[in-house]
Chain A
Amino acid sequence: MHGITVIELYVFVLAAFVGYQVIARVPPLLHTPLMSATNAISAISLVGSLVAAGADYGTVSTVLGTLAVTAATINVVGGFMITDRMLRMFKREQKGRR
Chain B
Amino acid sequence: MREMFTQGAYLAASVTFILGLRGLSSPATARRGMFFAEVGMLLAVVGTLIQHEIVRYEWIAIGMVIGSIIGALMAILMPMTAVPQRTAISHMFGALAATLVGVSEFYRHGNGAEIPHVQMAALGFEVMFGSLTITGSFMAFGKLQGFIRSAPMTYRFQNQSNITLFFVTLGLFAFLIFQPASPAVFYAMTALGLVIGVLIVMPIGGADMPVVMSLLNSYAGLAASATGFVIGNNVLIIAGALDGASGFLLSILMSRAMNRSFTNVLFGAFGSAPQAELALKAATDKAVRSISGEDAAIQLGYARSVVVIPGYGMAVAQAQHQVRELADEIEKRGGEVKFAVHPVAGRMPGHMNVLLAEANVPYDKLKDMEEINGEFERTDVALVIGANDVVNPAARHDRSSPIYGMPILNADQAKSVIVLKRSMNPGFAGIENELFYSPKTFMLFGDAKKSLSALINEVRQLE
A and B interact: yes
Interface, chain A (partner B; CB < 8 A): 1-4, 8, 11-13, 15-20, 22-58, 60-62, 64-94, 98
Count of A-B residue pairs with CB < 8 Å: 391
CB distance A53 to B108 under 8 Å?
no
Smallest CB separation, B447 vs chain A (Å): 25
Q: Given A12-B241, A44-B44, are A32 and B31 neighbors across the interface (CB < 8 Å)? A: no
Interface, chain B (partner A; CB < 8 A): 13-14, 17-18, 20-22, 24-28, 30-31, 34, 37-38, 41, 44-45, 47-49, 51, 53-57, 59-60, 62-64, 66-68, 70-72, 74-76, 78, 80, 83, 86-87, 90-91, 93-94, 96-98, 100-101, 103-105, 107-109, 114-116, 118-119, 122, 213-214, 217, 220-221, 224-225, 227-250, 253, 328, 341, 343, 348-351, 353-354, 357-358, 360, 362-366, 368
Partner of B116, one of A1, A56, A84: A1
B22 CB contacts on chain A under 8 angstroms: 22, 25
Q: In the complex, what distance in Å separates the CA atom of A22 from the CA atom of B38?
A: 18
Partner of B233, one of A48, A70, A81, A87: A48
Q: Given A37-B21, A69-B60, are A60 and B101 neighbors across the interface (CB < 8 Å)? A: no
Q: In the complex, what distance in Å separates the CA atom of A56 from the CA atom of B52?
A: 11
Q: In the complex, what distance in Å separates the CA atom of A51 from the CA atom of B18?
A: 24
B56 CB contacts on chain A under 8 angstroms: 54-56, 62
CB distance B96 to A71 under 8 Å?
yes
**Secondary structure dominating the interface of B:** helix
CB distance B21 to A91 under 8 Å?
no
CB distance A30 to B240 under 8 Å?
no
CB distance B122 to A4 under 8 Å?
yes
CB distance A15 to B238 under 8 Å?
yes
CB distance A65 to B243 under 8 Å?
no
Q: Given A4-B229, A68-B101, A74-B93, are A15 and B237 neighbors across the interface (CB < 8 Å)? A: yes
Q: Given A56-B55, A82-B83, are A19 and B242 neighbors across the interface (CB < 8 Å)? A: yes
B358 CB contacts on chain A under 8 angstroms: 89
A52 CB contacts on chain B under 8 angstroms: 100-101, 104-105
List 25 interface pairs A-B (beta carbons < 8 Å), by A numbering: A1-B115, A1-B119, A3-B116, A16-B245, A19-B243, A23-B24, A29-B368, A32-B348, A35-B214, A37-B21, A47-B236, A48-B233, A53-B60, A54-B54, A66-B63, A67-B100, A69-B59, A70-B66, A71-B93, A74-B70, A74-B74, A75-B94, A85-B75, A88-B31, A91-B363
Question: Closest B-chain residue to A9, C-beta based?
Answer: B229
**Secondary structure dominating the interface of A:** helix
Q: Given A29-B350, A31-B250, are A91 and B360 neighbors across the interface (CB < 8 Å)? A: yes
CB distance A65 to B59 under 8 Å?
yes
B220 CB contacts on chain A under 8 angstroms: 39, 42
Identify which of A29, A43, A49, A68 gathers the most chain B CB atoms within 10 Å of its CB.
A29
Q: In the complex, what distance in Å separates the CA atom of A42 from the CA atom of B158?
A: 33
Question: Closest A-chain residue to B33, C-beta based?
Answer: A37
CB distance B100 to A15 under 8 Å?
no
Q: In the complex, what distance in Å separates the CA atom of A12 from the CA atom of B49?
A: 24
Smallest CB separation, B211 vs chain A (Å): 13
CB distance B236 to A28 under 8 Å?
no
CB distance B31 to A87 under 8 Å?
yes
Q: In the complex, what distance in Å separates the CA atom of A71 from the CA atom of B51?
A: 21
CB distance B103 to A64 under 8 Å?
yes
B45 CB contacts on chain A under 8 angstroms: 46-47, 50
Q: In the complex, what distance in Å separates the CA atom of A91 from the CA atom of B358?
A: 10
CB distance B54 to A44 under 8 Å?
no
CB distance A80 to B363 under 8 Å?
no
A11 CB contacts on chain B under 8 angstroms: 234, 237-238, 241
Extra inter-chain contacts (11) besides given A37-B20, A44-B236, CB under 8 Å: A29-B366, A30-B30, A32-B354, A48-B230, A68-B97, A72-B97, A74-B67, A74-B68, A74-B71, A74-B90, A75-B90
7 nearest A-B residue pairs (beta carbon): A73-B67, A78-B71, A69-B63, A31-B350, A19-B245, A77-B71, A42-B243
CB distance A73 to B71 under 8 Å?
yes
CB distance B350 to A93 under 8 Å?
no
B94 CB contacts on chain A under 8 angstroms: 39, 42-43, 45, 71-72, 75
Smallest CB separation, B41 vs chain A (Å): 6
CB distance B246 to A55 under 8 Å?
no
CB distance A53 to B24 under 8 Å?
no
Partner of B54, one of A3, A41, A55, A75: A55
Question: Closest B-chain residue to A24, C-beta based?
Answer: B249
Smallest CB separation, A47 vs chain B (Å): 4
B63 CB contacts on chain A under 8 angstroms: 49, 53, 65-70, 73
Q: In the complex, what distance in Å separates the CA atom of A89 from the CA atom of B310?
A: 18
Question: Closest B-chain residue to A51, C-beta based?
Answer: B53
Q: In the complex, what distance in Å separates the CA atom of A52 from the CA atom of B97?
A: 11
B76 CB contacts on chain A under 8 angstroms: 81, 85
